[in-house]
Amino acid sequence: MTVTVRAPAKINLHLGVGAPRADGFHPLVTVYQAVGLCDDVTAESSPGWLLDVTVPDWMDADAVPVTGDNLVDRAARLLAGHHGIDALASVSVAKAIPVAGGMAGGSADAAAALVALDRLWQLHTSDDDLLALAARLGSDVPFALLGGTALGTGRGELVEPVPDQATWWWVAVPSGEGLSTPAVYRRFDDLTPDAPAEPEGAGAVLLALSTGDPEILAGALHNDLEAAALDLRPDLGDLLELGERCGALRGLVSGSGPTCVFLAESADAARGVAGRLAEHHEVVLVTNGPVAGAHVVTYG
């Protein structure tokens, strides 16, 4: 038996961050959008546990942990433990989402692994239990299960779908070197000692989504982690300006970065922006959203 599950990257259209809570996590009000850059996780029956990761040429394979602390290992142990069974499977991850890029690639892999292994092991885990297991694996993992466009609260793990009828076109420029999410949050704390307990609300983005107008959404995009990411990586500021000069409506650091994403007026406009950015950057990806969360693509 083989099951392949596909899970999407995310962009935070709004990322409001508050002062750290007692547990060290930051309260968030975020609007996630799942976009069509996806990782595929394939699980097969096996007498032991095996994990293998393949990456495209442009990605640094060494940046992906493969020995026991990959989020896929943790997802398998958590799901197996929840049902009191042994985690026996051969799992391969085919990555297309930038590693350590602020697009929740590891979270997508964890979500895909939960769904794939639930099918392979025929566990019939309820949606509520899968979402709860996902939240234990990482703040962004529940959203990778849900997909679409969603409001995230708590530390990002509490997700509810929001209406989003349009198709939004994005250009993503990954960075050769990743940024550590905890390091970006620490820099946010240094730069924002007076952060409010309640993060900034997402009203402007939710309203913009309802108009379907990319110019209005461009004006509403907001990321409280952007200043911290730019402080750690000043080159990203140049990239954001370049993308806007290349015709993007707006450039934004994705989540904690360093991937920068650019909202374009249309599919054609996105291809134009990407073509111009490709004169300066080796890897430039065109994608759109919203797309589905983790879902089975082959089974049998």
Q: How far is the CB of 20 from ligand C5P (least distance, A)?
A: 7
| Comparison of 102 and 148: residue with beta carbon closer to ligand C5P | 102
Q: 91 pairs with which residues across the strands?
A: 43, 51
What does the alpha-carbon distance between residue 22 and residue 3 come to, in Å, rounded to a whole number?
Answer: 40
CB of 106 to ligand C5P, least distance (A): 8
Dist. CA 296–CA 42, nearest whole Å: 10
Residues in a beta bridge with 54: 94
| Encoded amino acid at 174, one letter | P
109 in catalytic set? no
Q: Which residue number, 17 or 286, has a Cβ lying nearer to ligand C5P?
A: 17
Closer of 158 and 166 to ligand C5P (Cβ) = 158
Nearer to ligand C5P, 4 or 33 (CB): 33
Q: Which of 39, 73, 109, 140 is catalytic?
A: 140
95 among known catalytic residues: no
Residue 236: helix, strand or coil by DSSP?
A: helix
Q: Which residues are near ligand C5P by CB under 6 A?
A: 25-26, 28, 138-140, 155-156, 181-182, 185
We find the least distance from the C-beta atom of residue 269 to ligand C5P, in angstroms, to be 32
Q: How far apart are CA 142 and CA 4, in angstroms?
A: 19
Give me the least distance between CB of 165 and ligand C5P, in Å please: 28
185's enclosing H/E stretch is helix 181-191
Amino acid identity of residue 233, one-letter, is: R
Residues acting as catalytic residues:
10, 140
